[in-house]
Amino acid sequence: MSGVTLEKAIKRYGDVQVIHGVDLQIEEGEFCVFVGPSGCGKSTLLRMIAGLEETTDGTIKIGARDVTRVDPAERGVAMVFQTYALYPHMTVRENMGFGLKMNGVPADTIKEKVAEASRILKLDEYLDRKPAALSGGQRQRVAIGRTIVRGPEVFLFDEPLSNLDAELRVDMRVEIARLHNEIGATMIYVTHDQVEAMTLADKIVILRAGHIEQVGKPMDLYNDPDNKFVGGFIGSPPMNFLTGTVKVGAVHVPSLGQSINVPVTLPSDGTEVFVGLRPEHLSLTSDGTLNVTHAEALGGIGYAYLMSDQGEKLVVENREDPGIQAGATRGVSFDPARAYLFDAKTEARIR
């Protein structure tokens, strides 16, 4: 088992640079998730670690070993893709053992390793079936089984659940967490889904446009985002942002018609800021001038969608007002210590 280290890793396709000098330390045995919007470079970075994309500049280490120019097959990594191409004419057992067979591994060793992977993935009763007779989730488990039998030092997953339906994705998410607990290997997992990132990761790496925006434990990113992008990316529904201006030791927020005493070191008067408010930290009040444009009831909780006279939108997690309807007028209350401030120009957090 080994950790993974990236030092100033750069990827260019011709003149276009898509990964801009990434420094990152992934610890041995850690479950690390790369998350970010489509096109931000998650797959590219993963494929650079796998050796499937050449690293233009910088260094990639697996354990203490510099693998930057090492052949993919020699890196001790195994990758699971979104589209899992199983051999249709082979059974589950044969699919899982095929890579080892091609590498000349003795038959009894293959048998042992396939049995072990099958036990971990709960595939025992399907070993003699062909892929056509499996569900999507079972097929994906076979694809994961193919990597387990190789005993890699590092597992790489590129959006492995994206082709599954919503319910199955939740099941498989739990399975992958269990897999990590059981085999304890270093795993790097790419997803654009922040819920998957929050629920699976020991460490989340938030990427945007080929840069790391922030690295941290899920709840640290949720509680303490470094910038507006991270604040808005982690959390569902996303954080609300209202414009405000620093004025005599407080933040004036036109949409709320009030000044807020946020307990941070405020910049100078006149500085424009975004006030970040999470839906779950807001409560509806009866006195206010926000227009309810839409309301959703989900059973236990609901969401109210509000619009200020200034045209700014606000989503509120609604526990107290289940009968609320579009057309109503409400205010919001919240603990000012839970308001996040971001500089309007740099989008950096003001702490």
Residues that bind ligand ADP (CB under 6 A): 13, 16, 18, 36, 38-44
Nearer to Mg ion by C-beta: 43 or 55?
43
Task: Pick what 13 binds: ligand ADP, Mg ion, none; C-beta below 5 to 8 Å, kind-dependent.
Answer: ligand ADP
Nearer to ligand ADP by C-beta: 209 or 264?
209
Closest CB 48 distance from ligand ADP, rounded Å? 9
Closest CB 314 distance from ligand ADP, rounded Å? 30
CA 113 – CA 148 distance, rounded (Å): 8
Task: Pick what 18 binds: ligand ADP, Mg ion, none; C-beta below 5 to 8 Å, kind-dependent.
Answer: ligand ADP
CA 90 – CA 282 distance, rounded (Å): 55
Nearer to ligand ADP by C-beta: 196 or 317?
196
Question: What is the DSSP-derived secondary structure letter of residue 336?
Answer: G
Task: Pick what 40 binds: Mg ion, ligand ADP, none; C-beta below 5 to 8 Å, kind-dependent.
Answer: ligand ADP
Chain centre distance of CA 271: 32
Q: Which two tokens stand for residue 286?
A: 């009866």
Closest CB 43 distance from Mg ion, rounded Å? 3
CA 12 – CA 19 distance, rounded (Å): 7
Pick the binder of Mg ion from 43, 186, 227, 240 (CB under 5 A).
Answer: 43
Closest CB 178 distance from Mg ion, rounded Å? 25
Nearer to ligand ADP by C-beta: 221 or 315?
221
Of 206, 155, 242, give the one whose Cα is nearest residue 42.
206
Closest CB 36 distance from ligand ADP, rounded Å? 6
DSSP 155-181: EEEESTTTTS-HHHHHHHHHHHHHHHH
DSSP 8-29: EEEEEETTEEEEEEEEEEE-TT
Nearer to Mg ion by C-beta: 43 or 194?
43
Nearer to ligand ADP by C-beta: 13 or 87?
13
Give yes or no for a contact between 251 and 266, defined as CB atoms under 8 angstroms apart: yes
CA 65 – CA 122 distance, rounded (Å): 34
Q: Which residues bind Mg ion (CB under 5 A)?
A: 43
